[in-house]
Each structure stands twice: as structure tokens, then as C-alpha cells.
């Protein structure tokens, strides 16, 4: 995974990353064949290492920090291969630029649990090349061969014990040719990778100095809020702003593409001004949409044939020869992202430039994907993309929502109209009622088993809206298979992930997909389709285990005999949870195992059921994500993903009435509370395989693990989320 870049390229990208560098080395990304630019020329997504005369090593982090620890894990890769002293490591967020395109997602995008996977080799190669250049510079000054030197803790050391700090030879190193090839450390040689390293952003987080989007931008920026049509697809007919303009602090009321913006000196004035607006909306056909209509549409599509996504063998013959068969239908609702920091963006649109401060997951991308924040800002601001500067801030939660650009467009439109910097802020109600929701879905499953309980026929039908279709109906270049794919043959690959490749063999199998166009805006939500395919599949497997007369863990062991990594986490989770030992009185266990984003996770949930509902007391989680970079941040991400998924499993549901979302805030779109939090144990499988994803993989198994535990407690199968008993 290397590419040819000239020294001029390095200098240009170094200037993009920031002035004052002494030594700048590229992070070379995917090959020319793997990631063509829109114009056809070869490119590599780049990150940059900056070594100063004061010995500081600054890593330009090209992924968004939303709590997952990427601002520590990526610098760890650099420090490892550079042999830098950890105390000298600093980081800065990258600007929006093609140099930082993620080779796994066709843009400068943080999503799909790709940050470590995309950087694992290229970033280490960049650091190793920088180290060789530093060694060459020191060896040249000493008049000895570079091969005679070694590096340790930020210094080059000669055979006779002489040493020189990196900062002292950085300027000389910058004049040397860039090595074409490097040898990377083997896992046994790692001194940082695989070790728990304190986060670089920890002090700022606990002292309140971390800058989130809502904190950023010019101090004199005006504040804007927007009134949007409460019905999806509705448009503005007319508005009376007389009362709004009399609110003290309100500067202006103006029409924008998405509704009516009220601009004021502060948030409260803007909010009161919006409340005072008299608006007439053209609600359109969407005003009739409600939960019953959604259910009816999904039911109607389930009765059709759908588009085949994968087919092997002969289903008719398979079912005819089955000893027993089982039919089941599973349903999941729309879900909001509900990130703790509501959507916001600060924009300063001028005649020839646009500057944006945004908590974004998608800084830049090709035009065919809308160009990300940079492309959206350029279009809304009326300038070319090269005239747009994007300052990425920390994100107060992302979960896929901040990969969208609707909030960026609104901020730029208002700033352009005002001729001044504007900070646009969504209220919590705006956020929940105007989200890009996790699609509702219905899974229709049927399986036949032989006398031993092994499945011999398997039919799976998925009916849900398409996320990919909203970007480019009918066609999309291959994103990464874990994020999205072409709508080839009517199948959205992002809607069937987690179901299309079963980890066990069924001789007669068919998976089909039906796209449900329901008029509700949808988007990527943590773990995407895995959030519902895992629920359907792992609950169904539990039901098959009962049909076969086998213990749920034993049955899965049989199914996963040829999938060693799935089997490994299954056995580890069962062992650490004490599966073969009876649970405490009144408690019951359920299990689920799921592969997603290149990683494998098994979870055992221990629950009790009473009149108050389901209480989850303990979750034991086993994770095989390949080589772990920082075990502390991996465990934290898994814990957070379990809480995220558990909230959805027990409470999450967006409902519709008259084309409107009925929820508005955390009183009716509830989150898991501190007192409801279970004890979570995370056990990592030691591995030297290349890293898999981490940020999303803990979410998919929790709902089926809890649902299966509820069955163990009550004898009632859970086929609909959120769980109700």
C-alpha cells in the first residue's frame, strides 16, 4: 500500500497541515489502483508527521474525535515505528483536503470503524520512513553507516553510545531522500501498541478545555435557529415575522432552503424569535404518514418477491427434505441518533471564501458524494471547494449523524445572507424531530433443519428503506462493503450487511431485499444494518436451538465449527459468564455472537424480569478485533457501544403521527440511566492479526443477547424492538 509522491507533493501537503515544520513525511495510503481520484489521477490519502527542533512530534489526525480515542490511537502508531518518546507526542486535527481521504470510505470520512484499519500500515510506514531519515541525518553527521545506528526514546544512538535527539537532526533529515521501502516492527517488538496508554486528550476533557463544535468559531458570531417543516417532505408556503422581529436581540428573519432562520445576538433571543413566527407550511402527501402506514407498507413488500442478494442450492428441495421447519418475523423501528451535543455549525461566508467550524465526520469527499462538509459549504457559499476551509472540532457524539451535511448547509446559507459569521444551533427537539433516522426494518425468516438440528434450508427476506439511494439513486461506486455498496439489482448492500454472509454453511440459502420508500429521511446509525440483522439472526438461531432440542451455546458451537474466530469469542464469553453454572435466583442468561467490521463479538446478558420490565444486571463481552492498539480505548468503545445498543433494545423507538415524529426530547425518547447501567466485562482475545473495527461492533449483539435472556426468563420470544414483556 504505497504510492509515488514527489518532494513537491510533500511540501504542498505540509503547508496544508500547518506552517513551521522542520520535517514533514507523508503517510502513503492505498495503491493507485485502489483509490482513483475523480479526475483519474493516482492519489494516496495522507497524514503528516511534524518533528520540531524542540523535539515535539505532532501527528496530524485525519479522523474525527467523537470519544473513540482516535486522537491517541493514531499517534500511538506513529510513536511506535518512529521510536519517539511518548511525552513528546502532540496531535492536531487535519484540514479538509484530498490528502486525507480514507482509502476504505472514498472520502475524508470517519465511519464504518475504519480509522485504525485504514491507518494501520500506511501510518506506520510513514513513521518508519521518518525514522530512517533521522538515522541517516545523524549517521551522516557522525561519518558512519546508518545501519550502525539504532533509535530509542526519541534519539538516534551510535555504536559508541553517542546520541542525538530527533529535534536536533530534523532539519538535516528533511534534505535526505525519502526511503522507498521500510521494514515494519513485528508484534513481538511493539513497545506501545497493545499497551494501555493514557489518552492525549484526557486532561482537556476533565478540565473542560476540550473544544466542541458548539464552542468554536469567532466570538462575535451571530446565533441562528431554523424553523423547519414538521412533516417530512413539506415545504414553506408563507410566514409572518412581525412578532419575531420585535423580540429584543433578533437581528433578522430570513427564508432559507430548509425553512425560516431567525438570527439574533444570542441563542435565547433567536429561540424566542422562532417561537413568535407565524408559519404556513405546505405539508404535502407526507402528512398522512403514521406508524400504521409504515407497517402496512412493510407488510405489503414482505408479500412480494424482492431482489435476490445471494442464492445457493434449491430452497424448495431443501425444505422438502427438512425434518422440521421454523418461520419467524422480526421488526425494528426507526431510531434517532440522539447525540449529546445537538447539531451545530459555525460558518463565515465571504465573497471569495468560506470558513467552517464544525463537529463533522465527513470533512471532504468526491463531488458524486456531495463533497462532504467542504463540498456542501462551497455550494451553499457560492465558491469553489478550494476556497473552503474546514476546522474540525471534537464531536459530542457522532454515531453516523455527523456524516450528514444538512446542518452545514443551513449555517452557510444564513451566513451568506447576513454577510457575517453565524453559529447555527439545533435544539434537542430539532435534533430528534429532524434526524436522518436508522431505518425501520422487517425480517422474514424461514429455516429447515435435519434430524441432527443442522439447518439445510434458509430463507431470509429484509424489507427496509435504502440509505444509499438518497445519495445516488440506482448507482453508487463501491464505498467499503461494510458501509455501503452499489444498488446493484435493486439491493442496497448497506441494508443487508451482517446477513448476507452467514458464518455457517447452509446448502440451500437465499437472501433477498425489498426497498421500502416510506418518506422518512434515513442515514447511517452506529453499526448500520448490523444493528437489526444481528437481532433477527441471533434470535432466530436461538429459536432453532430450541427446535433442535439443544442448549443455545452448544448449538452455536456446532454451527460455528468452521469459523474459528466466531467460535473463539463464543467460548470465551460463555466461559467468563459461567454459562454452565446456574445464574443467581431470578436471573437468566442469553447469548449472541456476531461478526461486523472485520471483528468478532460474543455477549452474554444476564437479566431479570419483573412488573417493571426487563433489568439487565450484567453483560459479559468477548472481542476478537485482531491486533489491539490501545486496550483501554477498545474496552471503553465496547462499553459505550453496549450502552448505545441496550438503550435502543429497551427504550428506542421513533413513532409517527400525521407525518410528524411524536418524540421531542429525552423525556419521551429515553436513554439508559446510570441506575439502569449493568456491570460490563470486556475480554479481549490476544491476536497478532491486522486490526478490525471497534467503534461499532459492540452494538449489534446486545439486543439479541437480552431478548434471548428474556425468553429464558419468561418463555416468551421477543421478535420486536424495543423489548416489551
Nearest to 402 by CA among 362, 438, 357, 369: 362
**Cis, bond preceding 722 (omega within 30 deg of 0):** yes
Q: Which residue has the higher pLDDT, 36 or 579?
A: 579
Work out the pLDDT band at 343, boundaries 50, 70, 90: very high
Average pLDDT over the chain reads: 91
- For the cut 90, the answer to whether the pLDDT of residue 335 exceeds it is yes
The three-state secondary structure class of 27 is coil
In terms of Cβ atoms closer than 10 Å to its own Cβ (0-12, 13-18, 19+), residue 424 is buried
Alpha-carbon distances, residue 280 vs 111, 239, 241, 275, 285 (angstroms): 38, 6, 12, 14, 16
pLDDT of residue 28: 38
**432 in Cβ contact with 665 (< 8 Å):** yes
- For the cut 70, the answer to whether the pLDDT of residue 5 exceeds it is no
For residue 18, give the C-alpha cell.
Answer: 500547518
H-state helical runs in 157-208: 166-173, 202-206
Work out the pLDDT band at 312, boundaries 50, 70, 90: very high
Nearest to 276 by CA among 233, 320, 236, 245: 245
**504 in Cβ contact with 560 (< 8 Å):** yes
For residue 110, give the C-alpha cell.
Answer: 470517519
Write out pLDDT tens, residues 594-608: 999 999 999 999 999
Alpha-carbon distances, residue 322 vs 239, 325, 446, 452, 458 (angstroms): 65, 7, 12, 11, 11
Alpha-carbon distances, residue 527 vs 378, 436, 476 (angstroms): 30, 15, 20
pLDDT of residue 216: 97
**Range 716-724 average pLDDT:** 98
Write out pLDDT tens, residues 376-399: 999 999 999 999 999 999 999 999
Alpha-carbon distances, residue 586 vs 34, 191, 554, 610, 617 (angstroms): 55, 46, 23, 9, 11
Nearest to 523 by CA among 475, 471, 585: 471
Interacting residues of 374 by C-beta distance below 8 A, sequence separation 6+:
96, 356, 363, 364, 385, 388, 390
- For the cut 50, the answer to whether the pLDDT of residue 478 exceeds it is no
Write out pLDDT tens, residues 79-88: 999 999 999 9
| Helix 115-142 and helix 166-173, axial crossing angle in degrees, nearest 10 | 90
Place of cell 435502543: 648
Q: What are phi and psi of 345, to 5 degrees?
A: -165, 140
Write out pLDDT tens, residues 437-466: 999 999 999 999 999 999 999 999 999 999
Write out pLDDT tens, residues 105-161: 889 999 999 999 999 999 999 999 999 999 999 999 999 999 999 999 999 999 999
pLDDT of residue 399: 97
DSSP strand pairing (344-349 vs 422-425): antiparallel
Give the start-end residues of each E strand in 393-439. Answer: 422-425
**492 in Cβ contact with 471 (< 8 Å):** no
Spatial separation of the C-alpha atoms in residues 20 and 80, rounded to whole Å: 24
Work out the pLDDT band at 368, boundaries 50, 70, 90: confident
Write out pLDDT tens, residues 665-679: 999 999 999 999 999
DSSP strand pairing (259-264 vs 250-256): antiparallel
Alpha-carbon distances, residue 641 vs 379, 638, 717 (angstroms): 35, 5, 24
Nearest to 126 by CA among 60, 51, 47: 47
Spatial separation of the C-alpha atoms in residues 496 and 512, rounded to whole Å: 9
In terms of Cβ atoms closer than 10 Å to its own Cβ (0-12, 13-18, 19+), residue 465 is buried
Q: What are phi and psi of 579, to 5 degrees?
A: -55, -40
H-state helical runs in 479-602: 493-496, 530-548, 552-559, 564-577
- For the cut 90, the answer to whether the pLDDT of residue 38 exceeds it is no
DSSP strand pairing (613-624 vs 679-684): parallel
Spatial separation of the C-alpha atoms in residues 283 and 534, rounded to whole Å: 36
Conformational region of residue 519, where left means phi above 0, alpha means psi within -120 to 50, and beta covers everything else: left
- For the cut 50, the answer to whether the pLDDT of residue 237 exceeds it is yes
Alpha-carbon distances, residue 152 vs 75, 191, 217 (angstroms): 17, 11, 40
pLDDT of residue 472: 60
Interacting residues of 498 by C-beta distance below 8 A, sequence separation 6+:
529, 530, 533, 534, 537, 594, 595, 596, 700
Place of cell 427496509: 464
The three-state secondary structure class of 622 is strand
Write out pLDDT tens, residues 175-204: 888 898 999 999 999 999 999 999 999 999
Helix (H) or strand (E) holding 356: strand 354-358
- The pTM of the full predicted model, rounded to 2 decimals, is 0.92
Helix (H) or strand (E) holding 25: strand 23-26
Spatial separation of the C-alpha atoms in residues 580 and 551, rounded to whole Å: 10
Place of cell 429515553: 670
Amino acid at each position: 500500500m504505497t504510492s509515488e509522491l514527489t518532494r513537491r507533493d510533500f511540501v504542498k501537503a505540509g503547508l496544508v497541515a500547518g506552517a513551521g515544520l522542520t520535517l514533514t513525511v507523508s503517510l502513503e495510503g492505498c495503491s493507485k489502483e485502489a483509490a482513483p481520484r475523480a479526475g483519474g489521477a493516482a492519489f494516496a490519502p495522507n497524514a503528516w508527521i511534524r518533528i520540531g527542533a524542540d523535539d515535539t512530534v505532532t501527528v496530524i489526525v485525519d479522523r474525527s474525535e467523537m470519544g473513540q480515542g482516535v486522537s491517541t490511537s493514531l499517534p500511538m502508531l506513529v510513536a511506535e515505528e518512529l521510536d519517539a518518546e511518548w511525552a513528546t507526542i502532540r496531535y492536531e486535527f487535519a484540514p479538509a483536503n484530498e490528502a486525507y481521504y480514507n482509502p476504505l470510505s472514498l472520502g475524508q470520512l470517519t465511519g464504518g470503524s475504519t480509522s485504525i484499519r485504514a491507518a494501520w500500515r500506511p501510518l506506520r510506514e510513514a513513521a518508519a520512513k521518518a525514522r530512517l531519515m533521522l538515522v541517516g541525518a545523524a549517521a551522516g553527521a557522525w561519518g558512519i553507516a546508518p545501519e550502525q545506528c539504532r533509535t530509542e526514546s526519541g534519539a538516534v544512538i551510535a555504536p559508541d553510545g553517542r546520541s542525538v535527539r530527533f529535534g536536533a537532526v530534523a532539519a538535516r533529515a528533511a534534505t535526505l531522500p525519502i526511503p522507498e521501502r521500510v521494514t515494519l516492527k513485528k508484534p513481538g517488538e511493539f513497545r506501545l501498541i497493545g499497551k494501555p496508554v493514557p489518552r492525549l486528550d484526557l486532561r482537556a476533557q476533565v478540565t473542560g478545555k476540550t473544544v466542541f463544535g458548539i464552542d468554536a468559531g469567532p466570538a462575535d458570531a451571530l446565533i441562528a435557529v431554523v424553523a423547519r417543516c414538521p412533516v417530512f417532505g413539506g415545504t414553506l408556503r408563507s410566514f409572518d415575522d412581525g412578532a419575531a422581529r420585535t423580540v429584543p436581540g433578533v437581528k433578522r428573519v430570513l427564508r432559507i432552503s430548509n425553512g425560516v432562520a431567525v438570527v439574533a445576538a444570542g441563542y435565547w433571543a433567536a429561540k424566542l424569535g422562532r417561537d413568535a413566527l407565524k408559519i404556513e407550511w405546505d405539508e404535502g402527501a407526507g402528512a398522512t404518514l403514521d406508524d400504521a402506514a409504515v407497517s402496512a407498507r412493510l407488510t405489503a413488500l414482505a408479500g412480494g418477491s424482492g431482489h435476490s442478494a445471494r442464492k445457493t442450492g434449491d430452497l424448495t428441495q431443501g425444505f422438502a427434505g427438512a425434518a422440521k421447519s421454523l418461520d419467524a418475523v422480526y421488526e425494528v423501528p426507526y431510531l434517532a441518533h440522539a447525540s449529546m451535543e445537538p447539531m451545530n455549525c459555525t460558518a463565515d461566508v465571504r465573497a471569495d471564501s468560506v470558513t467552517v467550524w464544525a463537529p463533522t465526520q465527513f470533512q471532504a469527499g468526491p463531488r458524486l458524494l456531495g463533497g462532504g462538509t467542504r463540498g456542501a459549504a462551497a455550494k451553499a457559499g457560492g465558491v469553489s471547494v478550494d476556497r473552503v476551509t474546514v476546522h474540525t472540532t471534537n464531536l459530542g457524539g457522532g454515531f453516523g449523524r455527523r456524516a450528514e451535511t444538512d446542518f452545514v448547509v443551513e449555517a452557510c446559507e444564513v451566513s451568506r445572507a447576513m454577510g457575517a459569521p453565524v453559529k447555527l444551533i439545533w435544539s434537542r427537539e430539532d435534533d430528534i424531530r429532524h434526524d436522518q433516522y436508522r431505518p425501520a426494518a422487517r425480517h422474514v425468516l424461514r429455516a429447515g433443519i435435519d434430524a441432527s438440528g443442522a439447518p439445510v434450508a434458509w430463507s431470509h427476506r429484509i424489507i427496509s428503506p435504502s440509505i444509499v439511494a438518497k445519495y445516488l439513486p440506482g448507482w453508487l461506486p463501491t464505498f467499503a462493503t461494510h458501509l455501503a455498496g452499489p444498488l446493484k439489482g435493486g439491493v442496497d448492500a448497506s441494508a443487508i450487511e451482517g446477513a448476507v454472509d452467514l458464518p455457517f454453511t447452509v446448502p440451500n440459502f437465499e437472501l433477498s431485499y425489498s426497498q421500502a420508500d416510506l418518506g422518512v429521511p434515513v442515514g447511517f446509525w452506529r453499526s448500520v444494518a448490523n444493528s437489526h440483522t444481528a437481532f433477527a439472526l441471533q434470535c432466530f438461531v436461538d429459536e432453532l436451538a430450541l427446535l433442535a432440542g439443544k442448549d443455545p451455546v452448544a448449538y452455536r458451537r456446532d454451527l460455528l465449527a468452521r469459523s474459528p474466530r466466531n467460535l473463539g469469542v463464543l467460548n470465551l464469553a460463555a466461559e467468563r459468564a459461567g454459562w454452565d453454572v446456574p445464574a443467581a435466583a431470578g436471573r437468566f442468561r442469553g447469548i449472541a455472537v456476531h461478526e461486523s467490521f472485520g471483528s468478532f463479538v460474543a455477549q452474554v446478558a444476564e437479566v431479570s424480569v419483573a412488573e417493571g420490565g426487563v433489568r439487565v444486571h450484567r453483560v459479559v463481552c468477548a472481542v476478537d478485533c485482531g491486533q489491539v492498539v490501545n486496550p483501554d480505548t477498545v474496552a471503553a468503545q465496547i462499553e459505550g457501544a453496549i450502552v448505545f445498543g441496550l438503550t435502543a433494545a429497551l427504550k428506542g423507538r421513533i413513532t409517527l403521527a400525521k407525518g410528524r415524529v411524536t418524540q421531542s426530547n429525552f423525556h419521551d425518547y429515553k436513554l439508559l440511566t446510570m441506575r439502569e447501567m449493568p456491570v460490563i466485562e470486556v475480554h479481549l482475545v490476544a491476536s497478532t492479526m491486522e486490526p478490525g473495527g471497534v467503534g461499532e461492533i459492540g452494538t449489534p449483539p446486545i439486543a439479541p443477547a437480552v431478548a434471548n435472556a428474556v425468553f429464558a426468563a419468561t418463555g416468551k420470544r421477543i421478535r420486536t424492538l424495543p423489548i416489551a414483556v
